[in-house]
Amino acid sequence: MEERDGRAGGFRKVRRSREGGSVPGGGVRACSSLPLSAQDTVDRLLRLHFRDGRTRVNGDAQLLMAEMLNVFVREAAARAARQAQTEDLEKVDIEHLEKVLPQLLLDF
C-alpha cells in the first residue's frame, strides 16, 4: 500500500496515526507532500455534489464527515466479511457485498 501513487489523501488523520504505528520509523508518511490533504479530500468530495456554489463545510463538520465515511467503509467491509465467514469462506467477494448492501444503505 505504501508504494501507491501519491495522489490519495485518505480520510482522516486518525486513520493515519493508527497506521503510523505499524510503519517502521513511524512519523509522517510521504502523504504530506500530496496536493490533496486528508481534510481537503473530504471537503472536495462533498463540494463536488453541491448544487449551490456558495455552500461551504465547517472545519469540524469536515472532520465529522471524515469519521462518518471511515465508519461507512468499515461497516461495509466488516459486514461483507461476516457474510463470507458465515458461508465458511476465506475470501470476501462481490457477492457477499451484494448481500449486505441493502441493509447497509438502509442503516446509513
Partner 1 sequence: MAAAGDGERLLLTQRLKAAVHYTVGCLCQEVEEDKDIGFSKQSIAAISEITFRQCETFARDLEMFARHAKRSTINTEDVKLLARRSSSLLKYITQKSDELASSNLEQKEKKKKKSSAAKGERTPGEKEAAVTENEDSNMS
Minimum CB–partner distance for residue 24 and partner 1 (Å): 16
Q: Torsion angle, CA of 37/71/46/31, rounded to 10 degrees?
A: 10
Distance CA 3, CA 54 (A): 37
Long-range CB pairs of 28-34 (<8 Å, 24+ gap) are: 29/2, 30/2, 30/6, 31/6, 33/6, 34/6, 34/7, 34/8, 34/9
Minimum CB–partner distance for residue 100 and partner 1 (Å): 11
Return the amino acid letter for 74. R
Question: Using CB under 8 A as the criterion, which residues of the chain lie in contact with partner 1 when the complex forms?
Answer: 1, 4-5, 7-11, 15, 18-19, 36, 41, 44-52, 54-61, 63-65, 67-74, 76-78, 80-81, 84-85, 90-94, 96-97, 101, 105-108
Instruction: Report the residue number, 27 or 35, with the smaller CB distance to partner 1.
Output: 35
Minimum CB–partner distance for residue 96 and partner 1 (Å): 7
